[in-house]
Structure 1
Amino acid sequence: MIELDRAGRTFKVKRNVVHAVTDLSFTVAEGEFVGYLGPNGAGKSTTIKMLCGILTPTSGKVRVAGLDPSRRRTTLARRIGVVFGQRTTLWWDLPLADSFQLIRHLYKVDRKEFAARLAELTETLGLDAFIRTPVRQLSLGQRMRGDLAAALLHAPDVLVLDEPTIGLDVVGKAGIRDFLRRLNAERGTTVLLTTHDLGDIERLCRRVMLIDHGRLAFDGTLDDLMATAPGQSSIEEVVTRLYTGSSMP
């Protein structure tokens, strides 16, 4: 807050300390597919940035794949994959295939392993039709498939997804959801998903966590979540009721 006197000569700055997350504690087991929900400003992005080592918590401990993200960020990068729906990790002016080659060198992936993994991802994500196209010319759905492939080329143990289906049409969403479902079921990849699209949660997640004003407000199965609001017919209605009510459970 800034205050200015009538003569315009002096001002005072008042600082307000805001805790993005407070007393937040949870564990995600190997092979789980967990949805992490909350309204804008609830602390989801801050949580993800701490898990990835971008931010360091002022207190408490964070462990991802057994590593402290803020102290072992480079090592952790080889164990996790991250996809931000509103940002891309691909090189804008390069063909998708060239971006993948650069990623191979960044992660020091063995050439034969990379070739086999890329062939598999190209087939399952349907990349073949546009893999030689510059990223800037890709549709949103194509770019999202490219970002998913890029995040998985080094075979991470943990995949963190932030709005992976944002802006996609029905067909695009269905394709991404099917791929993620099979990735978790067949490869055992641990997935943490944040999204405002509750259809993603209903179709993919067995467990849901809700964060509200930086605090964990709910942690349980979808059935447990539905039980918090008897009479509501959809997860959207339940979550809306919880966040617009006077308090969280």
Structure 2
Amino acid sequence: MDDALIEVEGVTKSFVVRRRAGRFRRTRTVVDAVAGLDFTVRRGEMVGYIGPNGAGKSTTIKMLTGILLPSSGRLRVAGADPVRDRVRLAQRMGVVFGQRTTLWWDLPLRDSYELARRIYRIPDATYTRNLARCVELLELEDLLDVPVRQLSLGQRMRGDIAAALLHEPEVLYLDEPTIGLDVVSKRRVREFLARVNAERGTTVLLTTHDLTDIEQLCSRVMVIDHGRVVYDGGLDGLHEQGRSERTLVVDLEREQPPIELPGTRLVRCEGTRQWLAFPASASAAPLVAALAGRYALRDLSVREPEIEDVIARMYGEAVVAV
């Protein structure tokens, strides 16, 4: 396809795991982290790449960035092989691993950006423009002279995202970019990523355990399980296929009999708190309005379905995290 930026055809990745099996013996087991991946991502798409722990998400990202060599199959990013053309492709991609940082731990944030400018050979005018834009939108002005080790997780994550975008990459790989962040930091990151995708046309491949990230950012979602893509389509179709449910957590002013509300089912009831499940594809607004009209409420919140639960429902079996 002419507008395909990422092409993955029959890709596998196997690892050899050695385990102790006695005093002098060790067993050798081949584990397939990725087992026959096939997908294409077009330029300008923002795609959610989700699945349970151990499904192969991070392994896929590492192969797409050239960190890992596939055991078999064909991988192309912007028409190039990520391993053989790793140096050239580095100029065209940005990467953020939520559990790790690319920033220099003991240096101020500003110095990490200066090092990125030199590494990527970013022209002065481009660097100045992009840094100013990232600092403004991610609210980093007061953090530029703070050593990275003194930043909170949310501040460091915003700093990492800015660093990944200074050289104007065509594609951005985000591996759990909102993990461990508070609500405010998550909102800032999501708003910034949506803006980058809309204004620059940056292609984004996003792995996450937070379905809200997907709902607010991605029009397409791929589910990977046991190293294979098991779903590729819209989020509504995923919820429908997985029969996923959201949960209304209702705190009443005083204890009441179990709530009976059309379109919901009672999950459990403990004192003044009741849990009502409803289809994830449905809007919570009319349910909230109906509850507010019938009951004196102290508090109310909506809990999103867990990705593991959605996948388990799709295939009728528990998903085991590894």
TM-score bracket relative to the smaller structure? over 0.9
Tell me if structure 1 keeps the 8 A contact 2:63–2:82. yes
Cα drift, residue 149 of structure 1: 0.6
Where 1:24 maps in the other structure, the secondary structure is strand
Where 2:232 maps in the other structure, the secondary structure is strand
Alignment match, 1:191:
204
Cα drift, residue 156 of structure 1: 0.1
Higher strand share: 2
CA spacing shift, 1:238–1:98, aligned 2, 3 Å = closer
- 1:70 maps to a residue whose letter is V
The alignment's C-alpha RMSD in Å is: 1.7
Alignment match, 2:47:
34
Alignment match, 2:194:
181
- 1:158 maps to a residue whose letter is V
TM-score under structure 1 length normalisation: 0.92
| Mapping for residues 74-113 of structure 1, pairs under 5 Å | 74-113=87-126
Higher helix share: 1
Between 1:88-97 and 1:14-23, the stretch displaced more is: 14-23
1:56-89 deviation per Cα after TM superposition (whole angstroms, max 9, x unaligned): 1111111112210010111111000000111110
- 2:21 maps to a residue whose letter is E
CA spacing shift, 1:238–1:166, aligned 2, 3 Å = closer
Alignment match, 1:143:
156
Tell me if structure 1 keeps the 8 A contact 2:82–2:89. yes
Runs of 4+ in 1 over 6 A off after TM superposition: none
CA distance, structure 1, for counterparts of residue 47 and residue 30 of structure 2: 30
CA distance, structure 1, for counterparts of residue 311 and residue 133 of structure 2: 41
TM-score under structure 2 length normalisation: 0.72
Tell me if structure 2 keeps the 8 A contact 1:226–1:238. no
Where 2:164 maps in the other structure, the secondary structure is helix
**Gap regions ≥5 residues in structure 2:** 1-18, 246-278, 281-303
Cα drift, residue 181 of structure 1: 0.8
1:77-120 deviation per Cα after TM superposition (whole angstroms, max 9, x unaligned): 10000001111100011111111000000001111211111111
Larger-Rg structure = 2
Cα drift, residue 14 of structure 1: 2.3
Cα drift, residue 138 of structure 1: 1.1
Q: Which has the higher contact order (CA 8 A, sep 6+)?
A: 1
Tell me if structure 2 keeps the 8 A contact 1:198–1:236. yes
Percent identity, aligned pairs only, is: 60
| Mapping for residues 1-249 of structure 1, pairs under 5 Å | 1-4=19-22, 11-230=24-243, 232=245, 233-234=279-280, 236=305, 240-243=309-312, 245-246=315-316
Cα drift, residue 224 of structure 1: 1.5
Between 1:182-191 and 1:234-243, the stretch displaced more is: 234-243
- 1:115 maps to a residue whose letter is T
Cα drift, residue 242 of structure 1: 2.4
- 1:246 maps to a residue whose letter is G
CA distance, structure 2, for counterparts of residue 190 and residue 241 of structure 1: 26
- 1:30 maps to a residue whose letter is R
Cα drift, residue 12 of structure 1: 3.1
1:116-138 deviation per Cα after TM superposition (whole angstroms, max 9, x unaligned): 11111111111111111111111
**Gap regions ≥5 residues in structure 1:** none
